[in-house]
Amino acid sequence: MKATLFLYMSVVFLLFSCGAKHDKQQPGKTSNTDTVVQRKLDSVPAKTDSLEHLAANMVASAESYRNDGNTEAEGIFIDAFIEALKQPKAFETDFANLKKYEIKVLTADDGRLRVFYWLSPYSGSMWHVQNIVQYKDENDAVIALSFNSLYEDKDDEGSPTPFFEHIYALNTSPQKTYLLTGYGQMSGTEPYSVSHTLVIDHAKFSINKALFKTGKAVKTQLFASAELKEDQDKEKLIAQLAITYNPGGKTISYPEVNETKDGSVLTGKRNVLTFRDGMFK
């Protein structure tokens, strides 16, 4: 009897000991798994961040820019946004979640070209507007790029980067030609108006085609600015500077400006060019 009881107690003790050891090992095993998962999460590249998160970082970086001049946050957002705009279904997406960061969109009258734009958080009295072009070609392939990258002199900090107000598709073939009109600000006292032609030829984009003939000169853009006087209304001056296009008559109207010792001054006259044979003249 004693032998049987002793044997029974030995078995119970052995089972209890094994169970206790097993229980002590479980937390250690779980901890190792958590560590592996954490390493995998830490290794996920930053490119998986949402566009909205990157846009928020860009806006929030304005203060640090004033302190150290770092513009990296906007560059990261632009690169990610361009890649997103290149995706097959992106042309049908309005990216409404970016509107809270003042990122807006303008669509051409033929519906095949869009420009997403915002005032750079690093702007001062001179405006630097970021314009991202998205184009859907005849084969429904989607292309996206930064408008600012199209300037020939990439290092020119004074290159006008306007708010575009209108995009018109011009009747040209085989290349596509768009007329973009808008306005901007060179300084707090010098607003301007500008018009560009964007030529798309076999997926190659250019704003450097000289398609404006004014007198004997041939230009790649129309540009007009004037000094804002102390007693002038800024909005009224911007309206007077506006470059306008009439699709029916294919005419573009722009203000005449004289350069004086006191700066650029509007004469009150407007010149008109007509689009024919692939050029405004």
pTM of the model: 0.79
* pLDDT at residue 16 tops 90: no
Neighbouring residues of 208: CB distance < 8 A, sequence distance ≥ 6: 150, 152, 220
Distance CA 247, CA 174 (A): 20
Give the tens place of pLDDT for each residue, 126-179. 899 999 999 999 899 999 999 989 987 655 544 568 999 999 999 999 999 999
**pLDDT tens-place string over residues 196-255:** 999 999 889 999 999 999 989 999 999 999 988 888 899 999 999 999 999 999 999 999
Across the range 102-106, mean pLDDT stands at 97
Cβ-Cβ contacts under 8 Å for 95 (sequence gap 6 or more):
51, 84, 103, 105, 116
